[in-house]
């Protein structure tokens, strides 16, 4: 149900915040055994927060978030609630503080239903690397929900929350949103504070939103954006009021179609659906412009070098000494650290740490990491050139729809190449939104992505909303 509809129902006393929260908690208890979208469900604290929210509603001082039940990805710190990153390393970690976004949710009297499942330390594209078991797609439980924010997308798709917070390092909000038939927004880098987000790759990570519609992502973004003195990478350019252009005339816009995104490797059904979406915008009066992003062929390589190098650095703190799992094996300091990391991290996390350390080694730094940063600079320049003549860019979100569980997880190269259409946005620090544009012959959602200029989420949301208003979206049936 749309967030504005829930807001109206709560404010008109058609339903209480406690009743609404209990409805979601009961549905989680009934349905989540099938999809495993939550790691931790906050039954007691959610009811307590709902009671407090109801007092605010009764006083007539409710905000857009008051009493709205949401889920939070399990790499975002929540005071007094386990934050595991879906890893054995942090299985019992309970943060003593809230991440900035969690604090903003609580200050606005939102109700946090629980922490959602994910790929371990956000490293993966299928949500199958979780220590707590993989997540399943609500449209077909034999298929993956995408990753790493697969639990967030699945929880929204299965109506186990009204909206969700996720994190997006290389497409981790948009790709699962595409696979699960919902809408995922990755804001401009620096729009939302990362303070309290357990880092994967600091120059790429951005907290994003998964919801039922573009307009709903705008409502959530309005509550979590903004400069944060605790995060030096946040920007004061973010202005809020992200739904102010919803319903406005978009017929004067120019939409770029990068030819490189429609070549080999793209599923025919996905290609047809996204090009049909382009025709929809053309009929509205938008000008469709063919553009080029030559660096796309190097994007995946650059992304994995940069992200793995930063991950190797960020995850060095998990050593069994400061915090995290401590091994019972080891006769000396070095053995203790080695065994703690060996036991605590899963295979994919170890693979990325090894890749990152290799890329940063003396003798390889210039050949790999430095060249990856050059590609980042070139990608930014190519996007800047496109945006000189276009307002937004339309691409597929992923080369395929959701695939069968076990089909790609044992082939890292194939998994990494599946990120080709999403990673450029993170490398360039741009905003992007994914929404459903069709369904394949198996009934699985097909996602399209709209990429915008820096800090122009308003236009993205308006353009995406216009398509959604005329598109008949199907609901997952569990």
Q: Which of 148, 155, 238, 307 is catalytic?
A: 148
Active site residue 362: no
Furthest CA-CA distance within the chain: 71
Tokens of 9: 């129902």
d(CA 161, CA 432): 23
Q: Which of 87, 157, 172, 449 is catalytic?
A: 172
d(CA 165, CA 83): 14
Active site residue 136: no
Task: Pick the closest to residue 163 from 174, 173, 152, 172 (CA basis).
Answer: 152
167 and 197 in contact (C-beta within 8 Å)? yes
Helices and strands (DSSP H and E) totals, the chain: 15, 11
For 12, the 3-state DSSP assignment is coil
421 and 399 in contact (C-beta within 8 Å)? yes
d(CA 245, CA 452): 14
Active site residue 248: no
Rounded-to-10 torsion of CA 367, 297, 305, 232: 110
Helix residue spans in 315-346 (DSSP H): 333-344
Beginning with the edge strand found earlier in the chain, give each strand of the sheet holding 287-291 in spatial order.
38-41, 111-116, 69-73, 163-168, 206-211, 183-186, 432-439, 445-452, 392-396, 254-258, 287-291
Measure Cα distances from 476 to 139, 157, 158 in Å.
Answer: 5, 6, 6
257 and 291 in contact (C-beta within 8 Å)? yes
Q: According to the 3-state scheme, what is the secondary structure of 157-220?
A: HCCCCCEEEEEECCCCCHHHHHHHCCEEEECCCCCECCCCECCCCCCCCEEEEEECCHHHHHHH
Cα torsion angle, 284, 286, 290, 291, sign: negative
336 and 323 in contact (C-beta within 8 Å)? no
**Look-up: residue for tokens 């082939």?**
411
Supply angle C-alpha 246, 2, 55, rounded to 5. Answer: 115
Q: Which of 37, 71, 73, 458 is catalytic?
A: 73
Q: Residue 116's beta-bridge partner residues? A: 38, 73
Measure Cα distances from 81 to 41, 92, 102, 113 in Å.
Answer: 9, 10, 11, 11
Q: Active-site positions?
A: 73, 148, 172
């Amino acid at each position: 149900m749309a967030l504005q509809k829930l807001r109206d129902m709560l404010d008109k006393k058609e339903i209480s915040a406690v009743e609404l929260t209990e409805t979601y908690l009961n549905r989680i208890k009934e349905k989540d055994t099938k999809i495993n979208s939550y790691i931790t469900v906050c039954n007691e604290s959610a009811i307590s927060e709902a009671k407090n929210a109801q007092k605010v509603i009764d006083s007539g001082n409710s905000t857009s978030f008051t009493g709205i039940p949401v889920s939070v990805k399990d790499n975002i710190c929540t005071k007094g609630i386990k934050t595991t990153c879906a890893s054995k390393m942090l299985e019992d970690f309970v943060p003593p503080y809230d991440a900035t976004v969690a604090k903003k949710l609580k200050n606005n009297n939102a109700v946090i239903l629980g922490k959602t499942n994910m790929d371990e330390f956000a490293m993966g594209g299928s949500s199958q690397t979780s220590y707590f078991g993989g997540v399943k797609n609500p449209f077909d439980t034999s298929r993956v929900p995408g990753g790493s924010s697969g639990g967030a997308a699945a929880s929204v798709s299965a109506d186990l929350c009204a909206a969700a917070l996720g994190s997006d390092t290389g497409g981790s909000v948009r790709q699962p949103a595409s696979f699960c038939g919902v809408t995922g927004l990755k804001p401009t880098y620096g729009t939302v504070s990362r303070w309290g987000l357990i880092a994967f790759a600091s120059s790429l990570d951005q907290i994003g939103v998964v919801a039922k519609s573009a307009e709903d992502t705008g409502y959530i973004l309005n509550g979590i954006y903004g400069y944060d003195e605790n995060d030096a990478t946040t920007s004061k350019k973010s202005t809020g009021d992200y739904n102010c252009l919803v319903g406005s005339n978009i017929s004067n816009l120019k939409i770029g179609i990068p030819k490189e995104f429609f070549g080999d490797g793209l599923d025919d059904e996905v290609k047809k659906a996204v090009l049909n979406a382009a025709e929809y915008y053309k009929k509205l009066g938008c000008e469709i412009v063919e553009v080029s992003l030559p660096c796309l062929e190097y994007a995946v390589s650059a992304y994995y070098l940069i992200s793995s190098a930063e991950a190797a650095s960020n995850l060095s703190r998990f050593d069994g000494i400061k915090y995290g799992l401590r091994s019972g094996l080891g006769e000396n300091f070095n053995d203790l650290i080695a065994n703690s990391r060996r036991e605590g991290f899963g295979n994919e996390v170890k693979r990325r740490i090894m890749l990152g350390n290799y890329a940063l080694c003396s003798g390889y730094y210039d050949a790999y990491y430095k060249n990856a940063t050059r590609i980042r600079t070139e990608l930014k320049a190519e996007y800047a050139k496109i945006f000189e003549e276009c307002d937004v860019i339309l691409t597929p979100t992923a080369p395929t729809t959701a695939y069968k569980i076990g089909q790609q997880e044992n082939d890292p190269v194939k998994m990494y190449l599946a990120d080709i259409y999403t990673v450029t946005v993170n490398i360039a620090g741009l905003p992007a939104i994914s929404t459903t544009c069709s369904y394949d012959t198996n009934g699985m959602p097909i996602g399209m992505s709209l990429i915008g200029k820096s800090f122009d989420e308003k236009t993205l949301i308006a353009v995406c909303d216009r398509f959604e208003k005329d598109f008949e979206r199907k609901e997952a049936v569990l």
